[in-house]
Amino acid sequence: MKTSIARKVSMALSAFFLMIFLLQHFAINVTSIFSGETFNNLSHFMGTNFAVQYIMQPILIFGVVFHFVMGFILELKNKGARNIKYAKNNGGANSSWMSRNMILSGLVILAFMGLHFYDFWLPELKIKFVDGDWSGVLEGETGLRYFTELQHKFVNPIRVAIYCVAFIFLSLHLLHGFSSAFQSIGANNKYTRALSKFGMAYAILIPLGFVVIALFHHFNHC
Amino acid sequence: MSTNKDMNLILKIWRQKDQKSSGKMVDYKVNGISPDSSFLEMMDVLNEGLISKGEEPVEFDHDCREGICGMCSLYINGEAHGPDRAVTTCQLHMRKFKDGETVTIEPWRAKAFPVLKDLKVDRSSFDRIQQAGGFISVNTSGNTQDANATPISKYNADKAMDAATCIGCGACVATCKNASAMLFVGAKVTQYSLLPQGQVERKERVLNMVKQMDLEGFGNCTNTGACEVECPKGISLENIAIMNREYLKASITKED
């Protein structure tokens, strides 16, 4: 990644990949509202399928790590490009808060991912790769465990609140990131306005959907 | 908007002896400023006052004072070329300010635009980017073809002309939170890539100009769009997208 354009294009490509993943994640999670059985079956498939586990998951991990690392590299380089700050700077006059604070919203998302991994991913790794249990069934019980685990995670109101705040920041990140990614790969043409509106809908509806899922399980469990 | 009532202002101005010295903000008062005068005329009044008191005047860049040379700069109240839109500092009128207002005036801030003195900055990094590829090579041995004899579509001619209105003032760099020069470079790349005369050096141009832009120490564009808003000539973000496309195509298809 020697040039500025190569770096911004690589950020955009990893962003596209992550936005597609987010959509897929949402599509599976939203089934938990309507049918615990469907959610269990889909989760079990994703958690035990060879291609998902050993091909898609490593690509996803690389995509996430790359996006964050490159984001920090760009932030550091950009800070260095202005060695003396302005005494007075009216950024709000010419750009959105979201576009100027992508590193802040990104850091909140990173912190949230730490909690999310602690909640779901690390226990999954332990069950599968340490305990060697790929059955998806808890010992002494019948039926798949994923829906029950999901509900238990959203009992604690503090955790639910943290999830909701994190998704607000995810929305703020996407409100700039979606259209910015298209601009970075050179897509600025007669479709840009329509694409921006679609991006705005994506940036609001998908995180909102995750918030609804968290609140639904919190209030339905209590 | 004009009230014809003269204005009194408090100015907070960056003073810096030379490139090696560290500067500081200094407060000045100017009185009796006509709302119909330009911002640079207000600076002239300030300097005349300073000279009459035996003090050193504030140095700032300016030339044509008609908004076409790209020489004037100034970061005024937190915005490049001040609070008005689609104007350079020399076209900014004092009626945009209020009587008694405190006006903060700073030089362009970017590592690639070092301050020479007070409000004057060295923008030769833009010249070096231009020299890296912002030109077309034309045989001038006596049989030069008339440019008007070369057919060009209206769409491309208009787009190229829009890009060519960039005056290279550096407001895009000054206002970008990353001090990125991509709007300037994008405008130059777009201008030539759309014209028939620019096709011969099309790939080398974008590769060399982007390489020089990075060497000069400008930041990376994050598409905030601030440059487009503050640009006195309304250069569109589309030019950056075109440059990105040109760069990607040239990177993939270059022969050596």
- The pLDDT, as a whole number, for residue A5 is 97
Query: How do residues B201-242 score in pLDDT, each as one tens digit?
Result: 999 999 999 999 999 999 999 999 999 999 999 999 999 999
CATH number, domain of A165, equals 1.20.1300
* Distance from C-alpha of A23 to C-alpha of A207, rounded to nearest angstrom: 10
What are the domain boundaries of chain B?
7-116, 123-253
Put simply, the chain A residues between 12 and 71 with a CB less than 8 A from any chain B CB are none
Question: Does any CB of chain B come closer than 8 Å to the CB of residue A193?
Answer: no
Judged by CB atoms closer than 8 Å, whether chains meet at B219 and A102 is answered as no
Angle, CA A136 vertex, CA A133 and CA A137 arms, to 5°: 95
- Residue B151: pLDDT over 80: yes
Number of other residues whose CB lies within 10 A of the CB of residue B67? 19
Query: How do residues B21-42 score in pLDDT, each as one tens digit?
Result: 999 999 999 999 999 999 999 9
Judged by CB atoms closer than 8 Å, whether chains meet at A185 and B78 is answered as no
pTM: 0.95
Judged by CB atoms closer than 8 Å, whether chains meet at A91 and B213 is answered as no
Residue A106 forms part of a structural domain:
yes
* Distance from C-alpha of A206 to C-alpha of A213, rounded to nearest angstrom: 11
Identify all chain B residues contacting A88, using CB atoms and an 8 Å cutoff: 12, 77-78, 104, 106
Confidence tier at B3 by pLDDT (50, 70, 90): low
Report the residue of chain B nearest A176, measured CA to CA. B224
Question: Does any CB of chain B come closer than 8 Å to the CB of residue A222?
Answer: no
Q: Which option is the CATH number for B123-253: 3.40.50.300, 1.10.760.10, 3.40.50.2300, 1.10.1060.10?
A: 1.10.1060.10
For residue B223, the distance in angstroms to the closest alpha carbon of chain A comes to: 6
- The pLDDT, as a whole number, for residue A2 is 85
Residue A90 forms part of a structural domain:
no
- Give bridge partners of residue B28 from the DSSP assignment: B11
Interstrand relation of B102-106 and B115-117 (parallel, antiparallel or unpaired): unpaired
- The pLDDT, as a whole number, for residue A141 is 80
Identify all chain A residues contacting B209, using CB atoms and an 8 Å cutoff: none
**Mean pLDDT, residues B156-163:** 97
For residue A11, the distance in angstroms to the closest alpha carbon of chain B comes to: 10
Residue A148 forms part of a structural domain:
yes
Question: Does any CB of chain B come closer than 8 Å to the CB of residue A142?
Answer: no
Residue B4 sits at φ, ψ, to 5 deg, of 65, 0
- The pLDDT, as a whole number, for residue A1 is 74
Report the residue of chain A nearest B113, measured CA to CA. A82
- Residue B1: pLDDT over 60: no
For residue B176, the distance in angstroms to the closest alpha carbon of chain A comes to: 9
Closest-CA residue to B13 (of B149, B120, B132, B134): B120
Residue A91 forms part of a structural domain:
no
- Residue B5: pLDDT over 60: yes
Collect all residues with Cβ–Cβ distance below 8 Å to A12 and sequence separation of at least 6: A180, A181, A182, A184, A185
Interstrand relation of B102-106 and B75-76 (parallel, antiparallel or unpaired): antiparallel
* Distance from C-alpha of B160 to C-alpha of B190, rounded to nearest angstrom: 7
Q: Which option is the CATH number for B7-116: 3.40.50.1370, 3.40.50.1950, 3.10.20.30, 2.150.10.10?
A: 3.10.20.30
Judged by CB atoms closer than 8 Å, whether chains meet at A99 and B179 is answered as no
**Mean pLDDT, residues B81-88:** 97
Structure tokens at A178: 């979606």
Per-residue pLDDT of chain A in tens (222 residues, 90 and over written 9): 789 999 999 999 999 999 999 999 999 999 999 999 999 999 999 999 999 999 999 999 999 999 999 999 999 999 999 999 999 999 999 999 999 999 999 999 999 999 999 999 999 999 999 999 999 998 778 889 999 999 999 999 999 999 999 999 999 999 999 999 999 999 999 999 999 999 999 999 999 999 999 999 999 975
Judged by CB atoms closer than 8 Å, whether chains meet at B179 and A180 is answered as no
Identify all chain A residues contacting B180, using CB atoms and an 8 Å cutoff: 4, 78, 81
Structural domain harbouring A75: 4-82+97-221
Between A and B, how many residue pairs show a Cβ–Cβ distance under 8 A?
A: 134
CA dihedral sign, ordered B164, B169, B173, B176: negative
Report how far Cα A135 is from the mean position of its chain's Cα atoms: 27
Report the residue of chain A nearest B22, measured CA to CA. A84
The answer to whether the CB of A152 falls within 8 A of the CB of A146 is: no
Question: Does any CB of chain B come closer than 8 Å to the CB of residue A190?
Answer: no
Query: How do residues B49-83 score in pLDDT, each as one tens digit?
Result: 999 999 999 999 999 999 999 999 999 999 999 99
For residue B131, the distance in angstroms to the closest alpha carbon of chain A comes to: 19
